[in-house]
Amino acid sequence: MQVEEPAPVSPAKETPEPPVERKPDVEKEWVHWSTPSRRLQKITRFLLRCLTRMDIQGVENFPAEGAVLMAVNHIFMLDVPLYFAVVPRRPVVFIGHNWERIPILNRYLERALTAIFVNREIADRQALRKATKALKVGCLFCMAPEGTISQTGGLIEGKSGAAYLATRTNATIVPLVAYGQEKAFYYWKRLRRVPVTVRVGPAYRFPSGKADAAALDQHTETIMVSLAKLLPPEYRGVYADRIE
């Protein structure tokens, strides 16, 4: 009896899985100027020319590219637009989380000012992750190591957040200070432009990698002293006696 051989079975065709759509990293877009952010800078510069007499020194110390942590002093509410106006690259900044609750304005701050909303009352890890990611893709990130406005006009004790970000991302640190803007209302009441001095110091970098608490404290001291060296004695605050 003849046994029929089974018909060959064609291998099942594997259905290719649809490609996974990856959302573009929004932080990569922050490296370059957007139309809203460039427009806002032009408007800010125009207003500051009308309201202030700025003396700007050392802008050439900014690297043309790569991750930069711009460490600044913080003495007046005019500081953020002031720093935004003078930087040659698109800056990313921390903004208090209360602004995030204001409809329309919150979106504009995110798009034009490139704001990361941060809750300064807690250790805001989400904001820290966003800042870390922004630096790792090569952004310029502006941060006041003191974490708040100085009520005395002089430097107050710095916190380790800036040093943490700089070491984790191998970012170049550029110290920048401004002073004189805290006298704005005195001059504006007299219909005069307020004299403001902006000074940018030499860039430097810390060893990259994970730093322990002692190293972060030392790096924070270095950052704050680099700011103090750019300031007149009356603005150096608690770091007045720490300058060699």
Q: What is the 3-state secondary structure (H, E, C) of 193-243?
A: CEEEEEEECCCECCCCCCCCHHHHHHHHHHHHHHHHHHCCHHHCHHHHHHC
Higher-pLDDT residue of 10 and 32 is 32
Distances (CA, A) of 100 to 12, 34, 41, 103, 109: 53, 20, 21, 8, 9
pLDDT at 158: 95
Q: Is residue 181 part of a domain?
A: yes
Q: What is the Cα gyration radius of the chain?
A: 24
Number of domains in the chain: 1
Beta strands in 73-193, from DSSP E residues, in sequence order: 91-96, 115-118, 140-143, 172-179
Q: Is residue 42 part of a domain?
A: yes
Closest CA to 204 of 174, 162, 228, 230: 174
The SS3 assignment for 179 reads strand
Q: In the beta sheet, which residues pair with residue 22?
A: none
Q: Is residue 43 part of a domain?
A: yes
Task: Please state, in angstroms and rounded to a whole number, the distance separating the CA atoms of residues 205 and 170.
Answer: 7
Higher-pLDDT residue of 38 and 14 is 38
Task: Please state, in angstroms and rounded to a whole number, the distance separating the CA atoms of residues 140 and 162.
Answer: 13
Distances (CA, A) of 102 to 36, 84, 223: 19, 21, 33
Q: Is residue 106 part of a domain?
A: yes
Q: Is residue 208 part of a domain?
A: yes
Q: What is the pTM of this model?
A: 0.85
What average pLDDT does range 50-66 have in this prediction?
A: 96
Can you give the residue range of the structural domain that contains 219?
A: 26-234
pLDDT at 13: 53
Using CA of residue 111, residue 114, residue 119, residue 122, what is the dihedral sign?
Answer: positive
* Per-residue pLDDT at 9 exceeds 50: no
* Per-residue pLDDT at 16 exceeds 90: no
Beta strands in the chain, from DSSP E residues, in sequence order: 52-57, 68-72, 91-96, 115-118, 140-143, 172-179, 194-200
What average pLDDT does range 102-129 have in this prediction?
A: 79
pLDDT at 20: 46
Q: Is residue 10 part of a domain?
A: no
pLDDT at 17: 55
pLDDT confidence tier of residue 1, bands split at 50, 70 and 90: very low
Q: Is residue 178 part of a domain?
A: yes
Q: Is residue 5 part of a domain?
A: no
CATH number at residue 35: 3.40.1130.10
